[in-house]
Amino acid sequence: MTDIVTITLNPAVDLSTSVDRIQPVAKLRGKSQRRDPGGGGINVARVIRRLGGDAHAIYPVGGAIGGLLRQLLDQEGVVSQTWTIAGETREDFFVDEIATGKQYRFILPGPHLSPSEWQHCLSLVAAIEPFPRLVVASGSLLEGVPLDFYARVARIARQRGAGFVLDTSGPALAAAVAEGVDLIKPNLREMRELSGSDPSDAYEWEAAAKALVAGGKAGTVALTMGHLGAALVTRNEVLRARPIPITPRSAVGAGDSFLAGLIWRLSSGASREDAFRLAVAAGAAALIHPGTELCRIEDVERLAAGVTIEKA
134-138 β-sheet, strand order: 80-84, 56-61, 4-7, 134-138, 163-167, 181-184, 218-224, 230-233, 238-241, 309-311
pLDDT at res. 202: 86
Q: Taking a C-beta distance cutoff of 8 angstroms, is the pair 74, 42 a contact?
A: no
**Entry pTM:** 0.95
* pLDDT tens column, 77-89: 999 999 999 999 9
Task: For residue 201, name the pLDDT band (cuts at 50, 70, 90).
Answer: confident
Cα–Cα distances in Å, from 187 out to 50, 85, 256? 24, 31, 11
What's phi and psi for 16, nearest 5 deg? -130, 150
**Minimal CA–CA distance to 6: which of 36, 42, 39?**
42
Q: Is the pLDDT of residue 199 over 90?
A: no
What is the rounded distance in angstroms from the CA atom of residue 252 to the CA atom of residue 96?
Answer: 12
Question: Which amino acids are annotated catalytic?
Answer: 256
- CA pair distance 289, 302, nearest whole angstrom: 15
List pLDDT tens digits, range 167-186. Answer: 999 999 999 999 999 999 99
Domains and CATH numbers, the chain: 4-311 (3.40.1190.20)
Once rounded to an integer, what is the mean pLDDT over residues 117-143?
97
